[in-house]
Every structure is written in structure tokens, then in C-alpha cells.
Chain A
Amino acid sequence: MNDELIASDAPFTDAQRVILGALADTLVPASDDGVMPSAKDLDLAGYLARNASDFLAELAEVLARFDDGFVSEPLDARCERMQAFSEAEPESFGRLLAEVYGCYYQDARVLEGIGVGAGPPFPRGNTVEPGDLSLLDPVLANPTNWRRDVS
């Protein structure tokens, strides 16, 4: 993580960042095999500062609500709290989830982990199997002719 970048980019206090990390980790914890990182290990604060300025005030209120020992609760307990939050405030929860997923699924390490390859699609490109055109044999054997009675 690049502290300098976050410090200059993100309008969060240290305490807020810890709560944000715990919320992110609750939504997307690391995979058991360690291939997929936890969302708390990504630059979520920087992402939010860059892409979700209209959400920051609302987010600050959400973070304040979880400033009560949430960060040190075990994952099960945090999930219960998150579930209650999602039911009580579906809009705030939905926005938070969208931003966490947005940060997560555009991160190079995550994209490598799901087999897409790091970095933007261009200029990397992909190889797609040509496909077996002999699959057309039944189509040709049983033609659906176009309607010829047109004139």
C-alpha cells in the first residue's frame, strides 16, 4: 500500500480508515487459499476519494456508526452487523457494496486472481478459440431457407 498516495488522496482519518478496512474485509474477505486478497488490502480510501466524492459525507456517517469496537469483532459477528445494516439502510449499504466491488474488481492483483490478467484489456488482448465450424453440418443439412415468395 502506498501511504503517501492515500494521505494525499483520501479525506479519511486514520481511525476512519481502520473502520473502512474492517467493513471492506467483511464484505470481501481474503479467499481461504490466499489467492484472492481481502478488500481491506487494496487502496479503497484512494479509490473512494477519486471516484465517489458524492458519497463521502454519507460514508462518514456510516463509519461513525461502526466506531464501537466493530473492527476487533470476529468475522461472524461483523457479518451479522453488516446484515443488519443492509436491512436497515439498504441504499447506503448498496452504495458501499458497489464502491467496494468497484475498487476490488478493477485491481490488478484481483484480476490476475480471477484469471483475467492484470492491467487494462488494451493492448494486451486475448486469444479466443476459433470454434469448430463442422458444427454447422446439421444446419446445412436441414436448411431454414429465407422466405422467397417476396415479389
Chain B
Amino acid sequence: MASRDRDPVDVLIIGAGASGAAVAWSLAETRMRIVCMEQGDWTNPSEYPTNFPDWEQRLTERDHIDPNVRARPTDYPINNDDSPISVVNFNGVGGGTILYAAHFPRLHPSDFRVKSLDGVADDWPVDYDALEPYFAENDRMMGVSGLAGDPSYPPKQPPLPPLPLGRVGETVARGFNELGWHWWPADSAIISRPYEGRDQCKNLGPCTSGCAQGAKSSTDITYWPVALRSGVELRTRCRVREITVNADGMADGVWYYDEDGEEHHQRAEVVVLACNGVGTPRILLNSTSPEFPDGLANSSGLVGKNLMFHPVGFVQGLFEERLDSHMGPQGCCMLSNEFYETDPERDFVRGYMMQIVRGGVWPWSTAMLGARSGTIPWGPGHHEAFARRFDHTANIGILCEDLPEEHNTVTLDPELVDSDGIPAPKITYTLSENSRAMLDHGVARAKEAMLAAGAIEVTGGGPARQAGWHLLGTARMGDDPETSVVNSWGRSHDVKNLFIVDGSIFVTSGGVNPTSTIQALALYIADTMKKNLANLFD
């Protein structure tokens, strides 16, 4: 039965992931009554797959990165039929950071100025310099390991020393040196030394199944404990269906379902959306009213448009020597920004980062990959072929800047619904010619690097399908209400007490993993809100 809560809260944050945690922590010092609603649960690190002998099996089922496969009661289905890339995520306290690889580069200064520099897409209404203090604050709060001095960035000082390069890193680095290309140990949201009561990384390997050691900086063990101690209330198993508005067109609360599917209304003075680039437009589009017939905060018509993913290619090199590829943080080793910036000589604009990856090739998956590619036969000869490949590979991921295009969208599926009957998101996405050319270029260059590093066999391609990790652009920032959804500090142009702090507000995608920038932006927005508390809605 529907119930109306009498007690309004000052700030209602929806989503307890990367950005929701950061904004909750930052706003806590205001001593306002802050409630965060999260559809998922807390996770228990002792239930992560790496605690169990059948951990590889678990990755294929209840701990899968694809919510459609995982299909927990806390997940919502996503229709990816019209996209070559499918969305992966995690729904619970910590959001995507529970499963992320924790590769933690920042966007580059040029990423905020692509229109001015390269005549494409749009400039951001904020820049790197404005975000710099928040990048640094976020690095401290999360616990980031890395090496100062990377010449492809303005100066920065990670709070912890870098993670080990290992044999994979050393081997691939030699190839990059041979070609005279940039590389650097990755900034990683994984602690290389004990930090803030957490113990350091033990090099288990499969970080994207959740870190049983607690070394990976997911927000359930970084921001949230501090935010809760500071008085923020976090309510799990609360799935928001829609944001409601009053007669003045201001947000006044949300309708949500509790764990038992009971419907409730929670009133709020300010609503902050932090549900990621798919979850946020889904709620906005589902929040219709006579004043907002096309969805809340959507007078520009851009809610759900301009979805950007970062199309990803992978190149694998096989080496004679054993590289211990199965151990060490899988996604965090080193990166190269050699091809990051626009070069007029190339047949595409903007560029990509190369992410050197050690893991992802565990015993069972090596055997299966070998069976599919015909490189590891079954029967006699199996063991010799397996031994030649297992622990003898290195991978390079090519992470391409995805430019915004209005036809790449998140809409509400007309039929598919979640377990509470809320329409599921439908993804419509095509790979642009620019991205295709960039991917091809990146795959070719990564193959060159592998050969230079001494690989005896090189394979690769893209875009990878289950690689919709980065969900960006679907409620973009901007100064002009006709061409953007929120302003330069995340406030909706249409609804002055509604803020968005997740990856939806990215104007362009950059060519690096986005979470460091998502969180820096969330801290920046929270700080701007605090500075403007007296006239927040003017």
C-alpha cells in the first residue's frame, strides 16, 4: 500500500555509487539532514568470488559484470539489442566501484576544450584547473597509488607509491621504449601500502569480482564509512521510480519501492541524482507530469541523448617467457598516452589511451579461449598447448574517446520492466566512423607494441561487447539551457533544486576511464552547493 512519509529531508541523494558517496561525504559537514537511497545492498567482502575455490564459475553467474546475466533482485534489466556494446554495472552500496578495475587516470586538460581545440562536440563549462583540487582530494579519500612525474599530465602527486609493474609491465614497457612511445605506471584506486585502516593489495588478480582483501578503493569502504559517521543516513533496498514536483515546478520528493515492493513517498528539499549515465536518465524520463510531459529537466530534449561508452579494443600478445599474467591487479599496470591527442595526419579526430592489462586470463578462461580460437586443443597435446599460453600473455586495451551523438540514446523500453514494474532502459547506439577509425588505428599500434616487446603471436580487435563500463553524457552540462540539462555546477536548468552528479553530466568522454573525474566533479558540485547554500535556488 502506498505511504506518504511525513518527515521531509533536506537533501535526498539517489544512488550510493562512486559519485553518490562522494557528494554525501562532502555535504555532510553542512549538518543538513541527508538521506541516500540505494536500490541495492551492502556487499560482504567475504562473499566475493575470490574467497571460494570455484571463483571462476561464480564470475559467470551471480557475480557477473552484466546485470542481465547476474539478474539479482537488486538489478534492473537493460535492453542492449540495438547496441554493439552492452552495459555492465553493479547495483549496491559502492555502485560500479565494487566491480571496477580501479584504473584511475584523470581526464586531460585538453578534454575539457575539444570544440576550441579540434572543432568537434563542445567545450565543458568547467576545466581541469577548476577540478584539480577535487581530483587531489578524491585521490586522498579513495586511496590512490601511482608515480608522480608523468609527462603526459600536469604535475600531480598520488598519495601512495605505484603498484608493481610485474613481468607483464616490464615486458610491455620494453616494447614501448623500443618504439620511443610514452608509457607510465597507472594511477590506481588500489592501495599499495596500508592506508586509513585498510591493508594493502595482495595481488590476488581478479579485481573485477570485488576485492576480498579490501585493498581496492570502492566507495563502500572509503567514503561511506566516513559519511555515515558524519550523520548521513543510507537506506538500502530503496528503488526510486520517479521524482515528484510541486505546483511551482520544484522537486519535492520521490516515489520509491522498498525491499518488499511497497511503494512510499519521501519528501525532500533538494534532490541529487547519482544513478550513473543509464540509471539517471531512466528516472528523469520516467518522471513525467503536466509541467514536464517529456520527462523531468528535459526542456532541452537532451535527457538520455548523447550516450558515450568509450569503445574498447583488445590486443593480446603471447610470449615465450612466463609473465605471471594471472596475478596482480588485473586492470592496473601501466598506460600509454602516446596517441591521446588529435593528430591531423590521422583519419580520425581526438585519440585514445592504451591500458596495459595483466589479468583476465585465468585457468578456466584460458582453456575456453584456447578452445574457441583453436590454439589449445582438447585431447593429447592439451597440456603442452595450455602451458605455452597460460601465464604467457599480456593485453593492451585501447580505450577510445567517444564523441557525443544525439542518436546514441537511453530511452524507456516500451515492454521490459524491472521487478517493481519500472520501465527498463533501452540502449540505442552505433559506433561512429571516427570511433571505428580510431579503434583500427589503436589495434594496429598495440600489435606493433606487442611485437616490439617480443611477442611471438599477436591477436586482437574491437569493439569488445560486454565493455559498456563507462556510461556518460546523457544529461550533459552546459551554460545554455537549450543545449544542456544541467549548469556548470550540476544544477538542472529547469528544476532549480535538482542536481545531477554522476557520469551523465559529461560533455565529452575523454579517452580515459572516467571515475576519477566523475568523483572530482561530484566533489566540485558539492562544494559549489555549500558555497551557495543561502541562495541555492536563485
Contacts and interface: CB of A to CB of B under 8 A. Distances in A.
A and B co-occur in one complex = yes
A119 B164 CA distance: 24
A69 interface: no
Contact of A143 (B147, B151, B378, B386): B151
Contact of A120 (B50, B162, B164, B176): B50
Contact of B326 (A98, A116, A140): A116
Given A101-B371, A105-B367, A121-B55, A126 B147 contact: no
Interface string A30-59: 010000100000000000000100000000
Interface stretch (B6-14, B203-211, B297-305, B444-452): B203-211
B117 A150 contact: yes
A35 B373 CA distance: 26
Nearest to B166: A128
B477 to A, nearest CB: 17
A108 B53 contact: yes
Contact of B170 (A31, A36, A135, A143): A135
Contacts of B127: 150-151
B494 interface: no
B378 A125 contact: no
Contacts of A7: none
A139 B185 CA distance: 11
Contacts of B364: 101-102, 105-106
Contacts of A130: 164-165
Given A122-B50, A139-B151, A106 B110 contact: no
A139 B378 contact: no
A62 interface: no
B197 interface: no
Contacts of A146: 108-110, 151-154, 337, 341
B223 interface: no
B344 interface: no
B368 interface: yes
A126 B165 contact: no
Given A29-B380, A121-B50, A144 B169 contact: no
B373 to A, nearest CB: 14
Chain B interface, DSSP helix/strand/loop, else mixed: loop
A105 B203 CA distance: 20
B83 interface: no
Given A28-B382, A119-B53, A129-B164, A147 B109 contact: yes
B213 A122 contact: yes
A18 interface: no
A36 B382 CA distance: 11
B52 interface: yes
A5 interface: no
A149 to B, nearest CB: 7
Interface size bucket, B side? 35 or more
Interface in B342-363: 362-363
A104 B376 CA distance: 15
Contacts of B176: 139
Contact of A135 (B56, B177, B371, B378): B177
Main secondary structure of the interface of A (DSSP, over half): loop
Contacts of A131: 164-167, 169-170, 173
Interface string A107-151: 010110011100111110111111111011011101111111111
A98 B170 contact: no
B108 A122 contact: no
Given A114-B390, A115-B391, A128 B50 contact: no
A133 B164 CA distance: 10
Contact of B128 (A120, A133, A143, A150): A150
Contacts of B338: 144
B363 A111 contact: yes
B276 to A, nearest CB: 28
Contacts of A31: 383
Interface of B: 48, 50-57, 108-110, 112-113, 116-117, 127-128, 147, 149, 151-154, 162, 164-167, 169-170, 173-174, 176-177, 180-185, 202-206, 212-213, 324, 326-328, 337-338, 341, 362-364, 366-368, 371, 378-380, 382-383, 386-387, 390-391
Given A106-B53, A120-B53, 17 more contacts: A27-B378, A29-B379, A106-B55, A111-B363, A120-B50, A121-B205, A125-B203, A128-B166, A128-B327, A130-B165, A131-B166, A133-B185, A135-B170, A139-B177, A145-B151, A146-B108, A150-B116
11 contacts: A27-B379, A102-B57, A105-B362, A105-B366, A114-B390, A116-B326, A131-B166, A133-B147, A138-B177, A144-B151, A151-B127
Task: Pick the 10 closest A-B CB pairs, nearest first.
Answer: A131-B165, A125-B202, A143-B151, A126-B327, A144-B182, A122-B212, A105-B363, A105-B364, A121-B204, A147-B110
